[in-house]
Structure 1
Amino acid sequence: MPTVQPFVTVVRAGRLSYAAGLKLQQELAKQNVQQSSDFRNYLLLLEHDPVYTIGIRTKGYTAQDEDRLRKLGADFHRTDRGGLITFHGPGQLVAYPIINLRQFKPSIRWYVTTLERTVIETCRQMGIPNASTTQDTGIWVGDRKICAIGVHGSRYVTTHGIGLNCSTDLKWFEHIVPCGIEGKGVTSLSEQLQRHISLSEATAVLLDSFSKTFECLVQEQSKARVQN
């Protein structure tokens, strides 16, 4: 790890469509810098309108499936992230780290493992000590997934990230096989803790966990300032 802790600027983007969130990711990732040390790292935090997304492994989802899911009132997007189909929507904390791994450790495997540790530590701090990884992607509580993970890396710059279910309506997941894993379900912080968990409550804990596991300094900045 570097001796000087890298800075990560936190951008709270509010609720956005998936397309708007993807465009913002692309804007933050596309930096014309000569050296990796000049790259400005971001942690984009937001909540999506209802949307089903598929990663680079589509596993047989057809145009008919897309039409079926759109008729439920959700959008549908094919993406370049890892992983299979999942759902994003209200009550889910979405975190997209836009960071240059050369300022941390130039390893996608390290990055994914550190993201997993961040979510596990977040759950632990909130009172869920048994959240863990399995042979399947994401973070699980028993046989139910509480957080989806799907990332993309290009020249060590990361996009996409995690979707942590806080108070998500889990019925949206009944229309798909989440992340292509048969026989397993989904859960949320609210369901596990038997009380309503707001995005703001979960965000505060996630930021603390992120700064510790990634050994970085986080600083807040508004979406408006980023775009200006």
Structure 2
Amino acid sequence: MCVRRPLVTVVRAGRHSYASGLKLQQLLAKSTQNLGEFAEFRNYIVLQEHDPVYTIGIRSKSYTKDDEDRLRKLGAEFHRTDRGGLITFHGPGQLVAYPILHLRQFKPSIRWYVAALERTVIETCRQLGIPDATTTQDTGIWVGDHKICAIGVHGSRYVTTHGIGLNCCTDLKWFEHIIPCGIEGKGVTSLTKELGRHIGIPEASTAFLSSFASIFDCRVAEQADAVARDTN
């Protein structure tokens, strides 16, 4: 018996504010939940780039209004979110990927899902020429003592939101104003810095989607292709 692999539709949202990206993923997650009990859940992966923004997760309670004001004065927005993880930065030159998946089509385990995301980013880095990207006891993906990718997810009834922020050609100075993910004594890096050449979001996206399809054992289709397939 041939088991059909899940289909994941790629939504390329471009660059926009964090609030717009949050609204988009919430709309997609909600629309898939309204298909009815026996309808096939439509999975998405949203690829985007944010205007400068600092975000904190559900465990971050130490940032005060003064802290928010200080960070906003740098020219960035500030948002409290329902994802896991502590404070991080999203901005130009960073690939933000939000998989909106029903894990019952994959494996009904958030722990498995986070591990699969980690393996996806590690494989993405390997494809691009960084063979030593890895996980540590700290969250995210690391190259030595420098974080190259932040991971923070949310799951509700096995539907995932939020995801990863992979530094491609990000201005790393934005991270100097925070303790990224609450981890003292370590730094941040990017694909561009590690490889010594410019790695933009388009190149990183190609490697990421290839890695995602392999690790998650799914079919990946651009939005127009998936829509056409549904209407045929």
Equivalent position to 2:130, from 116, 123, 128: 128
2:63 is paired with a residue whose SS is coil
Within the candidate set 54, 57, 68, 1:55 is matched to 57
The answer to whether the 8 Å contact 1:36/1:102 transfers is no
Q: Shift of residue 40 of structure 1?
A: 0.3
| C-alpha distance in 2 between matches for 1:79 and 1:175 | 19
Q: 2:158 & 2:38 partners in 1: Cα distance?
A: 9
Paired residue secondary structure (1:12): strand
Match of 1:145 in 2: 147
- Tell me which stretches of 4 or more aligned residues in structure 1 moved more than 3 Å: none
- Residues 1:27 and 2:27 are matched in the alignment: yes
Q: Is the 8 A contact 1:37 1:103 kept in 2?
A: no
Q: Which 10-residue stretch deviates more, 105-114 or 50-59? A: 50-59
Return closer, same or farther for 1:82/1:36 CA change in 2, 3 Å cut-off.
farther
Q: Please, what TM-score do these two structures have when normalized by structure 1?
A: 0.95
Residue 41 of structure 1 corresponds to which residue in structure 2?
43
Secondary structure (helix, strand or coil) at the match of 1:28 reads: helix
**In 1: Cα distance, 2:167 partner to 2:18 partner:** 16
Matched residues in 2 for 1:36 and 1:173: separation? Answer: 45
Give, in whole Å, the separation in 1 of the partners of 2:146 and 2:38. 38
2:205 corresponds in structure 1 to: 203
Q: CA RMSD in A?
A: 1.2
TM-score by length of 2: 0.93
Whole-angstrom CA distance in 1 between matches of 2:3 and 2:217: 10
Q: What whole-Å deviation, never above 9, does each CA across 1:63-106 have from its counterpart, x for those lacking one?
A: 10000000000000000000000000000000000010010000
One-letter code of the match for 1:17?
S
Q: Taking structure 1 as reference, are residues 205 and 112 closer, same or farther at Cα in structure 2, changes over 3 Å only? A: same
The CA deviation string for residues 135-159 of structure 1, in whole angstroms up to 9 with x for no partner, is 0000000000000000000000000
* Deviation, structure 1 residue 38: 1.2
Shift of the 59–134 alpha-carbon distance from structure 1 to 2, 3 Å rule, reads farther
Distance 1:22 1:36, change over 3 A: farther
Tell me the CA shift for residue 36 of structure 1: 6.8
Is 1:188 aligned with 2:218? no
Q: Any stretches of 5+ residues in structure 1 without a counterpart?
A: none
Can you list the C-alpha shifts for 1:175-194, whole angstroms capped at 9, x where unaligned?
00000000000000000000
Give aligned pairs, total. 222
Matches within 5 A, 1:150-161: 150-161=152-163
The residue number in structure 1 matching 2:9 is 9
SS of residue in 2 equivalent to 1:132: coil
Shift of 1:57: 1.1
SS in 1 for 2:223: strand
The one-letter amino acid of 1:25's match is Q
Identify if the C-alpha distance between structure 1 residues 66 and 37 changes in structure 2 by more than 3 Å, giving closer, same or farther: same
